A and B are shown apart, each in its own frame.
Chain A
Amino acid sequence: MGLLARRNLFHDKVRFAVTLTGIVFALVLIIIQFGLFLGFTTTTSNNIDHSNADLWVVFHGVGYFDTGRNFSERKFYQVLSTPGVERAEKYMQAFARWKHPDGRVENVQVIGFHPGSGLGEPWNVVQGSVAGLMQEDSVIVDELYREKLGVAKIGDRVEIGDHRARVVGFTRGIRSFTTSPFVYAKFKNSLDYTNPESSEESTAYILVKAAEGVPAKELQERLRARLTDVDVYTTAEFSQKTRFYWMFTTGAGLAVLTAALMGLVVGIAVVAQTIYAATMDHIREYGTLKAMGATNRYLYRVLIEQAVWSAVLGYGMAMIVAHFIVQASEKGGAIILMPWSMSAGMLVLAVVMCVAAALVSINKVTRIDPAMVFRG
């Protein structure tokens, strides 16, 4: 049975190549779309997830990270005086105009935080250090955006919102979903860059670290009870809200998921067509097997074994192609993520896709009249 399945599958090399191409195409398309989805999702909430905070205090009604709205720093002191709070820091996110050394202008997202606090700091700093931001008018940007921002090295000077700034460090792999690069600065400078008129006595977010032994949920309830006009989220909740907003409210996520679904449908169609054509080519052999006393179950196993072989080989090739695409994406503006769970899931999906495709042929084989073997 296994031998017949394999020989029939591999016998027509052109057809088998078409089958594999279909599977590889479908799987790579699905991997890229899901990988982009995961990459986008992770990107939207990167700063929240790496904040090292337990809770986020945001202006009431702010649904996601990129629309922070300032509120009085009185709240900040209320937070600090709440039992169970180990540390709290003001945190800022706002758009600003970045002027290249050569005069061109880019939109950037300025992130203001308190360097050395351990809360809301940039991560993956590969050149310079976060401590460098203690100096006045200094910023850290990601090396991905060197060209876009017109800076090449530490010490390069630019203007942000008509304020001078100097690059003191580079991070690696911190992308911005809005395509406006993140620019990290100390809290005071971030206000200068984004809204010089705003008072230092305001903040867009308060990052809270719970004291040891105090559950974040419990502290969240305490803060909610004390503070008015603001929302208090756990880091996971705020991350989730931000991800949900970008992925589903804007339709960005639906677009990539729809493309992934299309990949699945195209994959099933291509594989079904090729397995069906191969089955029809060998239909007389299936009739002969039936005449010889093979049960339908036996024939199903031949077809399913062919489907599984196609799936496993197609999967292997798709993973090689996907690996190169994922690697290439690391240097691009949109990261494609392929965690091991997705790789494993793709194998299951490939097998399900191919077996589902084989069902069309199984239906055909079930209906074979073994008496056909006696006809010419």
Chain B
Amino acid sequence: MGRMQRETVIRAKGLSKIYREGTTELRALQEVDFEARAGELTLLMGPSGSGKTTLLSILGCILRASKGKLEVLGEDVTSLPEKELPRIRREAIGFVFQGFNLFPTLTAAENVAVALDVRGVRGATARKRGEELLGEVGLAQKAKSFPADLSGGQKQRVAIARALAGDPPILLADEPTAALDGTSGRAVIELLQRLARVYGRAVVMVTHDPRVLSFGDRIIHLEDGRIVREEASGPNAMQTPSIVRRYPAGPIVSYEVSV
């Protein structure tokens, strides 16, 4: 499980995304450089419409950038044909959504098993692995519960277990605590932080939630489709050589990125 090296698992250079509608152009992202590293919890923050979700979608190989280069686990995905992208998502990425997006007709264990099924793991192996993953997020006793019988926090933990099904080195989360109360939100962010720090995953999380700020290793602020500021925080800021190298000024460092 340990991916303790701080290798870069996502490397984006000059990412732009332009939406065109008739003669109108919307520049959702402009020349964004970004790296996600194993063992780090990176927070993407910014006002609505700043391009956070667009960036997360591009990093997750769900959306194509209009311009720029994106490497996931060293593979240049910008040059890959469309039909290759599901493979990258299966092999490298797990998603956690604000609205959980669980399958309401399946139990918690079955929800996790579906993610394994998509990856070709079926039958008893899938069931066993599904239960293990639920155990890892502290929900072993809820394996047979349907989403409707779970609290918001439990649903999000099931969703995280599902995201871990393919043992992906990258977890992308879109406002995972937004719909949760304080206690549940804290449990979820602690889990995501542990997945980064203890299990060495690169976790990138879009958030508006000020309660989670202290959990992030890096906080990236977006406005109008550009990165305007990057902060490093938390214990990793001191312990991670790459971050120390880039942010030598202390545990919480802010600096303006040239735009």
Residues of A within 8 A of B (CB): 1, 3-4, 7-8, 11, 284-285, 287-295, 298, 370-371, 373-374, 376
- 5 further A-B contacts with Cβ under 8 Å, apart from A285-B103, A292-B95, A373-B97, are A4-B103, A7-B105, A285-B101, A292-B89, A371-B57
Residue of A nearest to B110 (CB): A3
Which residues, 66 to 123 on B, are CB-close (under 8 Å) to A? 83, 86-91, 93, 95, 97-99, 101, 103-106, 110, 113-115, 117-119
Q: Number of residue pairs across A and B with beta carbons under 8 Å?
A: 73
Contact partner of B106 among A7, A290, A292, A295, CB < 8 A? A7
- Alpha-carbon distance between A180 and B79 when the two chains are bound, in angstroms: 79
User: Counting CB contacts under 8 A, is B60 at the interface?
Assistant: yes
CB of A376 within 8 A of CB of B63, answer no
Contact: B118 with A291, CB < 8 Å?
A: no
Q: List residues of B whose CB falls within 8 A of some A CB.
A: 53, 56-57, 60, 62-63, 83, 86-91, 93, 95, 97-99, 101, 103-106, 110, 113-115, 117-119, 162, 166, 174
In the bound complex, do residue B101 and residue A288 qualify as a contact, i.e. CB atoms below 8 Å apart? yes
Indicate which residue in A1, A293, A371, A376 contacts B89 across the interface (CB closer than 8 Å).
A293
Question: What CA separation (Å) do A285 and B105 show in the bound complex?
Answer: 11
> Is A376's CB under 8 angstroms from B99's CB?
yes
Which of chain B's residues have a CB closer than 8 A to the CB of A8?
103, 105
**CB pair A292 B115 closer than 8 Å:** yes
- CB < 8 Å neighbour of A295 from B62, B86, B98, B166: B86
Bound-complex Cα distance A7 to B111 (A): 12
Query: B53's closest neighbor in chain A, by CB?
Result: A374
Query: Which residue in chain A gives the minimum CB-CB distance to B99?
Result: A376
Determine if B101 and A290 form an interchain contact, defined as CB atoms under 8 angstroms apart.
no
Q: Nearest 5 CB-CB pairs, A to B?
A: A293-B90, A293-B89, A7-B105, A11-B105, A288-B101
A288 touches B90 (CB 8 A): no
Complex Cα distance, B110 from A226, in Å, reads 81
Known: A7-B106, A290-B86, A293-B119. A374 touches B57 (CB 8 A): yes
Measured CB to CB, the nearest residue on chain A to B126 is A3
CB distance from A287 to the nearest CB of B (A): 8
Smallest Cβ distance from B64 to chain A, in angstroms?
10
Instruction: Provide the residues of chain B in CB contact with A294, threshold 8 Å.
Output: 86, 118
Q: Across the interface, do A291 and B62 meet the contact criterion of CB distance under 8 Å?
A: yes
Looking at B88, B91, B101, the one whose CB has the most chain A CB atoms below 10 A away is B101
Can you show 18 pairs from A to B with CB atoms below 8 A apart? A1-B114, A4-B117, A8-B103, A288-B95, A288-B101, A290-B86, A291-B95, A292-B95, A292-B118, A293-B87, A293-B91, A293-B119, A295-B86, A371-B57, A373-B62, A373-B95, A374-B56, A376-B99
